[in-house]
Structure formats: C-alpha cells, structure tokens
A and B are shown apart, each in its own frame.
Chain A
C-alpha cells in the first residue's frame, strides 16, 4: 500500500506541477509539451487504480493523436502570445466560473462515493469483480453488448460530423495534373509507344 501511495503522490504532484506550467510557460510549444506530461501522469494515475485499458487508451488517443494535432497547430501558428496574454485578466472571471463548476461536480461525485460507498453497486451496470473480468472485457460488455445502439448512434453522429467537415473543405480543382494509378497500370506498350521510321536528316 505504501508503494502505491508513493506513486500516487509522485504522479499527482508532477501532473499538477506541469498543469501549472502549461498556463505559465512563455513558449506555447513548451506549454503543449507540459500538457503531454500532464496526460502521461494522468495515465499513470489510471494505472494505479487498476484501469489499465483506460490508461493505455489515454496514451494512444490523447497523447498519440490529439496532442500531436495541438503541437502541429501551435508550431505552425505565428501568434504573438505576449499580446494574447495581455488580456488574461479580462477572461479570468469566466475561467474562474468554469473552474468552480468543475470543482463542484468533482466534489459531488467524490463526496457521494465517500459518504455511501455502496452506492456504486446500485447502478444499473455494477462494476464486475476485476479478478474475474478484466476491465478491457468489462468495458467491452458495456459498450458493445448492453449499450450497443447508443454506441452506434454516437458513432453515426461522429461520422456525419466528419463527412460534413470534408464536404465543407473539399475543393476539387480542375485543370491540374493528377496521378491515376489504375490508368498507369493499365497502359500497354501498344497504347504508350509508337515506333516510327525516321529518314536521316529529315526528322518527323
């Protein structure tokens, strides 16, 4: 137990410290790099609670894909962040409000499980014993067996959003050269090469 507590405090401390660095770093690229450290430590915290699948998915999705996108955008943008930071006080109240809402929700969730630990068993899908069912399988049960229709609907909504984004941004330009692999492969010497006899000194 002592070792777990040690690692918990390690991950938690690094996560909070780098979260602070995310908003205080001068260089935006450094901010994103610190954000990645936060994600990484959050994955470590998930591992400590035994949620190994969520920890790995956090690594794959958030660090492997989302943060790469962030980093791309931040590297490409040429934004004067000193100028942006000048208006930070202006947005402070909104930020505080969001922070308050999140804090209140956290207190509600954590508080209820502290006050009545048996409440977790009364939900419609109780958490199975981790010794019998690995949490990968348990999550699969919930997503793909019990709530498969909702999952499919969510997937469809995302698909529609994706197609919408493509339709809005797709511009098919005419009059430019394109490579058509199947046409290239289908070419034969008969269609591509013409053999002519050239008389010397005359040309074609």
Chain B
C-alpha cells in the first residue's frame, strides 16, 4: 500500500496541485487581460472603458463573472441539447489543456514532454470542434453561418502556423518547448559578435516568419481584424448567438485562453520565453517568469492594438491572405531556412 501511495497517488496529487495552481493563476490573469483589452480599445477610441467597479474598473471582469454565473441559462427549444451544452465544455477544456506543456519559467511546466509543440498544435487544431458544435447545435441560421466561417478560417490559418512552427523547429532541432527556449540563448546576435541579448531570439533571425505567425495568430483565434465568425455588424455574435450565462462565459473564456496561448507560444518560439533581454546582473536577477509575463503582455498589447486600429477584412480577402500570400511565403521561407542551415552546417 505504501509503495502504491508513493509511486502513483503522490505524483498524481502533485500534478493535480500544479495544474490547479496554473489554472487559477491563468484565470485571474485572463480576467485582467480581458479588462486590459477593453481599456486599450477604449483609449484608442478616446473613451474611458470600464471604470465603475473597483479602482479604475479593475474588478470589472469579476463583476461580469458574477453576472454570468447568476443569470439563467437559456437553451433554445430547437437545439440539440446535449451537443449544445457539450460545445462550451469541449472548448474550455481544450483551451485550458494546452497550458499543461507551456514552460513559464526554467523547468516550470506541468508536463515537460518531448513533443510539446506537436501537442499544442494537435490540441489547438481540435478547438475548431467547440465552434462547429456550438454553431450546429444552436439550430439557427446565424450561429451556423458563423461556425462555418470560423471553421474554414481556423483550418486555413493552421496551415501557415504549422509551417512557421516547422521553420523554428528546424533551427532548434527539438520539439520540446523548453529546448526551444534554451536554443535562443545564443543566436544571430552572438554570431555577429554581440553579447547575449534579445537579438539572439528567433524574431530577429526569422523576422518574416515572426510577422506571419503574429498575423496568423490573430486569424486563428478569430481576433479582429479577422473576427468574421462573430462579425457583430452582420452575424450578431456568430456561433455564440444562442448562448447565455455560464455556457456563454465558457465560450468567451476559451477564446481568451486560446489568445493567451498564442501570445505565450509567440513568446516561446520567437521572443526567447523566460530569457532576460540583455545580459546584465540586475536584469539577470529578475526571475524568469516576470520576463515571460512581460513578453506575453507585450504580444497581447499588439493583439489589442490590432483590434482597435485595423478595419475588418472581407471574407475573400481573408482567404486570399491565408492561402495565396502566407502559404507560399512561409513555404518559400521554410525552403530557404532549410538550405541555409544545411549549407552553413548550423543545423548540427
């Protein structure tokens, strides 16, 4: 019994504890990120944004949470009840499950698995099911149209995201997320004779891919200017139209969890994860998680600004950008990077 406890139960308990800690931190973080999103948007448009609940409106998201939980969930009579309620659950579970492999600091990952990147890619390719199921189960026209748009969009941009990730993996030689961050300790900057700095990270050596990844990330998470699935001026709120109270909150939460995931993936793949920007004792002394969070927030600020200042794409323009611009560009870049790595012998 004792052996059983120490080999199975105890590690499981530790893992549950770690996961709970990560989830609680993540959800609180998302609550403030939601507020930041609205504040940035408001400031660009010379409005105040939420400013009533708490100082500077800081507790707005928690007030929203209470409102969502206390309201009555309404299920349309024509809806497929099981799938209708399953869809938000699937979305939120998948969106949170990807966080298991994200290393927020050196060694701070719930599961440090060898195929970390593939795991994230696999789980986030499943997220489209939450959308399709929600849209179909609502048994209504707007949600269905929104779901179809969203599914086509997510599948299209996954292709270029995949190729960008492959390019980064070529430079690293490992699918492990922690190894990807380690590989950015030295890079183009040190090759040019500079000390370890932010120039070593992949954003500098793979700059075009960084841009493609950022824009594809916007499209993949249905953020403006690619928010056609829920284009509120035409489809009201896309696949979420029929949802109310807690199920709606779950869909919303999974959307923001996916956005945070893309932000932290950008941080890990291109911005050096938890690595400090310059090699200086005072800066090295700051714990890695602070750098990680700062970078994530910085990428998210880019997302929020894109939402505030870029007008929405038309659907055919969106598809053209994905298939006719990003796919050839990223494929060409992949070939170039592979050739350079092979010819110079940097691939190892």
Contact = CB atoms under 8 A, between A and B. Distances in A.
A52 B151 CA distance: 27
Contact of A64 (B8, B122, B144): B122
Contacts, number: 59
A40 to B, nearest CB: 8
B118 A63 contact: no
A53 interface: yes
Contacts of B119: 56
In the complex, which of the residues B114, B115, B121, B316 has the most CB atoms of chain A within 10 Å of its own CB atom? B115
Interface stretch (B123-131, B239-247, B259-267): B123-131
B317 A179 contact: yes
A134 B133 CA distance: 36
Nearest to A178: B316
Given A3-B8, A60-B125, A65 B155 contact: yes
Interface residues of A, number: 23
Contacts of A71: 129, 132
A64 B125 contact: yes
Describe B's contact surface by its main secondary structure. helix
Contact of A136 (B115, B125, B151, B155): B115
B109 interface: no
Contacts of B125: 59-60, 63-65
A197 to B, nearest CB: 34
B118 A64 contact: no
A22 interface: no
Nearest to B154: A68
Given A36-B129, A63-B126, A68 B114 contact: no
A24 to B, nearest CB: 16
B122 A72 contact: no
Given A68-B132, A72-B151, A136 B114 contact: yes
A12 interface: no
Given A68-B129, A72-B151, A75-B132, 20 more contacts: A29-B80, A29-B83, A33-B133, A52-B114, A53-B115, A56-B119, A59-B123, A59-B125, A60-B118, A60-B125, A63-B126, A63-B129, A64-B122, A64-B158, A65-B155, A68-B128, A68-B132, A75-B136, A134-B114, A181-B320
Interface of B: 8, 80, 83, 113-115, 118-119, 121-123, 125-126, 128-129, 132-133, 136, 144, 148, 151, 155, 158, 175, 316-317, 320
